[in-house]
Amino acid sequence: MRIGIIGAMDVEVELLRVRLFDQEVTSAVGMDFYEGRLGEKDVVVVKCGIGKVNAGVCAQALVDRFHVTHLINTGIAGSLDPEGLDVGDLVVATDCVQHDFSLAPLGYAPGLIPGRERVEFVADARMREVALSTAAAVAPEVRAVAGRVASGDQFISAEEDRARILSMFGATCCEMEGAAIAQVATLNGVPFAVVRAISDKPGAEGQTITYAQFEQAAAHHCAQIVAHMVASL
């Protein structure tokens, strides 16, 4: 087993990088890949940068160049269910969709990529259960739920965008990388998990301030849970 762990920003992967033993760094496709051991597991930790293209390139590089057998995406997200999901809560993906992909004028359902029968990319059930049980064990004060993750190349802040994504896709949270990683993993037959800590609530008053305040805390909390999750895989 070799696990690739992807975060979009330094704050999302730094806690994991500093825990690596026997660390080696390889630069490829404009990214630094940190190979090493996290506990007893071989891992590759990498900051992919923000957005779906960066995430997809990174995931494919992990498969092709570093021969990972599993992929985990860690980081932060915005709540699409402001009443049921608060800042600091954790979402583990059941599946992922691309909320900004549309060929509706050609008769395709929102988010449906030609050649596929389903809009969603389904996450690995065992990895999801391990993530949820790990969160319950190491951070019992955190509410951890399974739900759909919606990704797009947009920072969602307006209420109308939040409502649209929730209505069209029934997603629990939104971010900018998970579905691209999910698509690459699915195409390559690699099991994947997306684990996201809620850092903000799009549409809520002052949510930009909330994001700035909680970004680092949420990202580090998520990485802490992922570190313990890896040990149980």
The stretches of the chain forming alpha helices (DSSP H) are: 10-17, 52-64, 125-138, 159-169, 178-188, 207-232
Q: Hey, is 2 helix, strand or coil?
A: strand
- Residue 12 annotated as catalytic: yes
| Predicted confidence band of residue 213 (pLDDT cuts 50, 70, 90) | low
| Predicted confidence band of residue 217 (pLDDT cuts 50, 70, 90) | confident
For residues 195-218, average pLDDT: 68
Answer yes or no: is pLDDT of 205 > 80. no
* pLDDT at position 86: 83
Domains of the chain by range and CATH? 2-232 (3.40.50.1580)
Q: Which residues contact 133 (CB under 8 A, 6 or more apart)?
A: 232
- Residue 22 annotated as catalytic: no
User: 81, 124, 161, 200: which one is catalytic?
Assistant: 200
Mean pLDDT score across all residues of the chain: 91
User: 12, 89, 100, 124: which one is catalytic?
Assistant: 12
Q: What is the pTM of this model?
A: 0.93
Q: How far apart are CA 130 and CA 126, in angstroms?
A: 6
